[in-house]
Amino acid sequence: MAPPSSFKLNTGASIPAVGLGTWQANPGEVGKAVEHALNWNTHQTDVAAGLAQTLEDLQTDYLDLYLVHWPVRLVPNETSDLLPVNPDGTRSVDRSWDQQDTWRQMEEVYRSGKARAIGVSNWSVPYLEHLKKTWTVTPAVNQVELHPFNPQHKLKEWCDSHNILLEAYCPLGSTGAPLLEDEQIASIAKKNGISPATVLISYQVNRGCVVLPKSVTANRIEQNLKVVELSKEDMNVLDGMAASGKQKRVNTPAWGHDLGFEDWYGPVPN
């Protein structure tokens, strides 16, 4: 059976199985509209205002999908309004802010029709459980770092049980990561007559996740759209790589704040 070309959101809308990742790309290569769109409202105290600015920047009346990017509220200081940091290099975070307040505002913009679907990004099971206590609209997606070195099986199981679609960013492990050079992945690629990148992209679609490989060149974008069916044997190998000792995240901003992931770093609050 051929892998799906799209998935269904819990809103009833369809979303392509393979998207276009632009993180860490040269802003000029992906267009000024995307550059402006990435200036998300990190403060979270006024979601409607943040959405209004995004709509103005993109010159559109609505968004297909609007996400809360991290389960933290940043506090602007003299270092930056967008990504403020503390003297020790950690991000300036308001630890007292309750994400349930942010999500209530997200539900309001969803009901306004200006966002056709709403979701979260980088949310762990404990944070989702907290959000679930008061949500009236279930997040449509949870966009997280996913690849064979960080498959997040428990998170996927939880999201599947709540009809929340996982979106995979950094599916190739990001710039400088070892996945593309891994011997097990190379072996699967050789056996199937495909590239290691196609193995990693196909892995996510085969397990039921939207995948967002980064590319800014026409040829690479076309290559990234190639998705193949992987055998159960291949999927078992990929599923088990992290547990075999290869667990590794490539995107760990210095929040200095527990995000609820077992394999994260930093202090765990009492």
* d(C-alpha 101, C-alpha 108), whole Å: 11
For residue 217, what are the CA distances in angstroms to 20, 43, 46, 162, 187? 11, 33, 36, 36, 27
Q: Is the dihedral of CA 102, 105, 111, 116 positive or negative?
A: negative
pLDDT digits (tens, 9 = 90+) for 166-183: 999 999 987 666 899 999
> Is the pLDDT confidence value at 33 over 90?
no
pLDDT at 128: 97
> Is the pLDDT confidence value at 3 over 70?
yes
pLDDT digits (tens, 9 = 90+) for 187-233: 999 999 999 999 999 999 999 999 998 766 667 777 778 899 999 99
Compare 200 and 86 and report the one with higher pLDDT: 200
pLDDT at 45: 58
pLDDT digits (tens, 9 = 90+) for 16-27: 888 766 555 555
Q: What is the second-level CATH architecture of the domain 24-137?
A: Alpha-Beta Barrel (3.20)
pLDDT at 41: 44
pLDDT at 206: 98
> Is the pLDDT confidence value at 108 over 70?
yes
CA 73-27-203 angle, 5° bins:
75
Residues 6+ apart with CB under 8 A from 107: 118, 135, 136, 137
Residues 89-111: what's their mean pLDDT? Answer: 87
Q: Do the annotations mark residue 43 as ligand-binding?
A: no
pLDDT at 37: 34
| Mean pLDDT for all residues in the chain | 84
pLDDT at 83: 76
> Is the pLDDT confidence value at 54 over 50?
yes
> Is the pLDDT confidence value at 49 over 80?
yes
* d(C-alpha 110, C-alpha 63), whole Å: 10
Of 49-58, 73-82, 126-135, give the lowest mean pLDDT range. Answer: 73-82
CATH classification code of 1-23+141-246 = 3.20.20.100
pLDDT digits (tens, 9 = 90+) for 131-170: 999 999 999 999 999 999 999 999 999 999 999 999 999 9
Compare 217 and 63 and report the one with higher pLDDT: 63
* d(C-alpha 213, C-alpha 239), whole Å: 19
* d(C-alpha 196, C-alpha 193), whole Å: 10
Neighbours of 94 (CB within 10 A): 14
pLDDT digits (tens, 9 = 90+) for 227-261: 999 999 999 999 999 999 999 988 877 776 678 88
Residues 1-9: what's their mean pLDDT? Answer: 86
Residues 95-109: what's their mean pLDDT? Answer: 91
Q: Where in the chain is the domain with CATH 3.20.20.100?
A: 1-23+141-246, 24-137
Residues 81-106: what's their mean pLDDT? Answer: 83
